Amino acid sequence: MGLDFTVVPAHIDIILLGCLWTIAIAVAAAVLSFFGGIVFAVIALYGPWIIRLPFRLLEWVFMGTPLLLQLFLIYFGLVQIGIDLPAFVAGIIGLGLHFAVYNSELIQTAILSVDKGQMEAARTVGLSRGQALRKVVIPQAVRDVIPPIGNNMIALLKDSALVSVIGVSELTLSAQRAIGATYRPFEFYLVAAAFYYVINLGMEWVQRRIERRISISR
Amino acid sequence: MTDQSHFVEIRHAQKSYGTLEVLKDISLNVERGQIVAIIGPSGSGKSTLLRAINDLDSLTGGEVWLDGVQVNKDLPHRQYEKHINAMRQDIGMVFQHFNLFPHLTARENVVMAPKMLKGLSKEAADKLAEEQLEKVGMLDRIDYYPSRLSGGQKQRVAIARALAMKPKLMLFDEATSALDPELVDEVNMVMKKLAEEHMTMIIVTHEMDFAASVCDRVLFMDQGVVVEEGPPEIVFRKPTKDRTREFLRKHLAGVA
């Protein structure tokens, strides 16, 4: 029995719905990981030690353990202490925080490489350190770090397939459901792969647009 | 000793990094509307002295006063931050490397701080930006990003940015040192204009001609001390100290 893609159209609705979930989760987690990354970076560089220390621990957990385990902890673990999150919310938080830690590393380096004169100039017109960071240093750091963050976001999109294991009907799980109904794994996994690729192209397009907008001001 | 009679008063400024003494008991008074140039070889402490005035570099001893208020007051951290941020609004500073904000246009560079700190409306901010950029002859580049400006143009925008806070005092830290020779004049012209408007200015510079033509007083510093101080016609023409003579001879020879 060769490949037979004629079975696909009958189940395309479930695949498309899965695509929407994947996009929704990836976009929400990407936004969380971006702003979370900025907050984490500022805490890591400038926070008082009493916040910085527990934060380091959290960072170590997110970088040093499998994302799959983190998703289990957030979805199944937190229930035990009374925090019962819907699966897609747990997925967004898990993915978002996991990649926020990676983005934070990039943003920290970028903040440190912004010319010292920028902070000085901002302080001499009377801005506080916080205001100077927010208005002068961080916008420049973020600008420098858009391309590598874009790479992280592509990894995030691919890793979003993991939230299928906590029961979110995103693209991968939708493909599995279609396979359950048709016994056509090759076809549906290939279709899912194609959709991931298309979503990825979309993300790259967005990233290029952001980069181009930024480059106008260089 | 707390009564304050001069507009800017530096009392026994002392600064050391470990055992290295960069400023050794320097005192300096500047009156309202006066222009003082600080000259000297690199490493003489002249930039450090200038940067101590707005506490970009903190003194390890001594006091800085501006218009009756001590700049480097001894306050608990939080209160001090509030105090110094307010003081710095009155002290404009221009840097050797301009330090314009590259992600903002000339207009935004000028009005960012006034908008944030003085809560200007959009109309008031636009008016302020136009006013200040006109003053430095940059009105036609108001919506340009710094990357599209020449060094001299950048420095003029940087001066407009400092002026937009309506400072009482302007500090210039080698404002023309990083410029190509043909761009120096346009910046000097702006500084001269400020002098005509009686802005109080303290200028660290390598440009003896400029210092001689606009300044009321010249300080020659070497190794953390003021070696010689006086009106430019004396310090430049008839210096009394050997070290001043030697510096001027080398410097003028190097320039010529």
Residue B162: predicted pLDDT: 97
Instruction: Please state, in angstroms and rounded to a whole number, the distance separating the CA atoms of residues B131 and B106.
Output: 12
Concatenating the DSSP letter of every residue in B36-67 gives EEEE--TTSSHHHHHHHHTTSS--SEEEEEET
A2 pLDDT above the threshold of 70: yes
Check residue B256 and give its pLDDT. Answer: 41
pLDDT band at A213 (very low <50, low <70, confident <90, very high): confident
Provide, as residue numbers in chain A, all residues whose Cβ is less than 8 Å from the Cβ of B85. 123, 126-128
Which of B51, B91, B99, B171 has the highest number of chain A CBs within 10 A, making it the mutation to test binding with A? B99
- Return the CATH number at A109: 1.10.3720.10
pLDDT tens track for B34-68: 999 999 998 899 999 999 999 999 999 999 999 99
Instruction: State whether residue B117 sits within 8 Å of chain A by CB.
Output: yes
**Closest Cα partner for B199 from B176, B226, B220, B172?**
B172
How much is the pLDDT for B192?
94
Report pLDDT digits (tens) over A135-157.
999 999 998 899 999 999 999 99
First to last CA, chain A: 57
Q: How far A55 CA lies from chain B's nearest CA (Å)?
A: 24
CB contact under 8 A, B89 and A122: no
pLDDT at position B2: 52
Asked if B81 is an interface residue toward chain A (Cβ–Cβ < 8 A), one would say yes
Q: Which of B88, B105, B117 sits opposite A123 (nearest CB)?
A: B88
Among residues of chain A, what percentage have pLDDT more than 70? 98
Is the pLDDT at B171 greater than 80? The verdict is yes
Please check whether residue B112 touches A, CB under 8 A. Answer: yes
Percentage of chain B with pLDDT > 70?
97
What average pLDDT score do residues A70-88 get? 94
pLDDT for residue A132 is more than 90: yes
Domain that holds residue A143: 5-217
Please give the Cα distance from A119 to A136 (Å, whole number): 7
ipTM given for this complex: 0.91
pLDDT digit string (tens) for B139-160? Answer: 999 999 999 999 999 999 999 9
Alpha-carbon distance of B179 to B154, in angstroms, equals 10
Task: Give CA–CA dist B94/B170, Å, rounded.
Answer: 8
Neighbour count for residue B229 (Cβ, 10 Å): 16
Which among B248, B221, B242 has a CA at the least distance from the CA of B45?
B221
Q: Residues of A with CB below 8 A from B113's CB? A: 122, 125-127
CA distance B119 to chain A (A): 13
Q: Token match 């222009």: residue?
A: B35
Distance CA B179, CA B97 (A): 9
Give the Cβ contact number of residue A157 at 10 Å. 23
Write down the pLDDT at residue B4. Answer: 55
CB-nearest partner of B117 from A117, A126, A217:
A126
- pLDDT for position A3: 84
Q: Cβ B145–A131 below 8 Å, yes or no?
A: no
Check A118 against B162: CB less than 8 A apart.
no
Structure confidence at residue B193 (pLDDT) = 94
Distance (Å) from the alpha carbon of A125 to chain B's nearest alpha carbon: 5
What pLDDT score does A218 carry? 56
* pLDDT at A216 exceeding the cut of 70: no
Nearest beta carbon to residue A117 from set B99, B103, B104: B99
Give the range among A3-12, B28-37, B52-61, B113-122 with minimum mean pLDDT. Answer: A3-12
Sole residue written with tokens 């994302």: A67
- Burial class of residue A190, CB neighbours in 10 A (0-12, 13-18, 19+): middle
Mean pLDDT of A164-183: 91
Distances (CA, A) of B160 to B43, B114, B145, B192: 29, 12, 15, 14
pLDDT at B255 over 60: no
Q: How confident is the model at residue A24, as a pLDDT? A: 96
pLDDT tens, residue by residue, A90-100: 999 999 999 99
Tokens of B168: 């009482």
Tell whether the model's pLDDT for residue A129 goes beyond 80. yes
Structural domain total, chain A: 1
Instruction: State whether A127 and B117 contact (CB < 8 Å).
Output: yes
In the predicted model, what is the mean pLDDT of chain B?
Answer: 93
* B54 to chain A: closest CA residue: A124
Chain A residue nearest residue B144, CA to CA: A217
Contact B10, B64 (CB under 8 A): yes
Q: Note whether B162 contacts A125, CB cutoff 8 Å.
A: yes
Residue in B81, B99, B117 closest to A120 by CB = B99
* Cβ separation B145–A217 shorter than 8 A: yes
Q: Do B116 and A128 make contact, defined as CB atoms within 8 angstroms?
A: no
Say what the pLDDT of residue B250 is.
Answer: 84
Judged by CB atoms closer than 8 Å, whether chains meet at B86 and A118 is answered as no
- Whether the CB-CB separation of B238 and B212 falls below 8 Å is answered with no
Contacts of residue A136, defined as CB under 8 A and 6 or more positions apart, other chains included, come to A118, A119, A121, A122, A127, B101
Residue B183 has pLDDT above 60, yes or no: yes
Q: Per-residue pLDDT for A104 more than 50? A: yes
At residue A1 the predicted structure's pLDDT band, cuts being 50, 70 and 90, is: low
**In which region does residue A66 sit, left (phi positive, over 0), alpha (psi from -120 to 50) or beta (all else)?**
beta
As a whole number of angstroms, the distance between CA A133 and CA A136 comes to 6
SS3 B180: coil
* SS3 readout for B216-256: CEEEEEECCEEEEEECHHHHHHCCCCHHHHHHHHHHHHHHC
Whether residues A217 and B103 touch (CB distance < 8 A) is answered with: yes
- Given CB atoms, is B17 within the 8 Å cutoff of chain A? no
Spatial strand order of the sheet with B61-66 comes to B20-30, B8-17, B61-66, B69-70
The predicted pLDDT at position A212 comes to 85
| B73 to A122, B7, B83: CA distances (angstroms) | 21, 17, 8
Spell out which residues of chain B touch residue A122, defining contact as CB-CB under 8 Å. 101, 113
Strand B217-222, strand B35-39: pairing: parallel
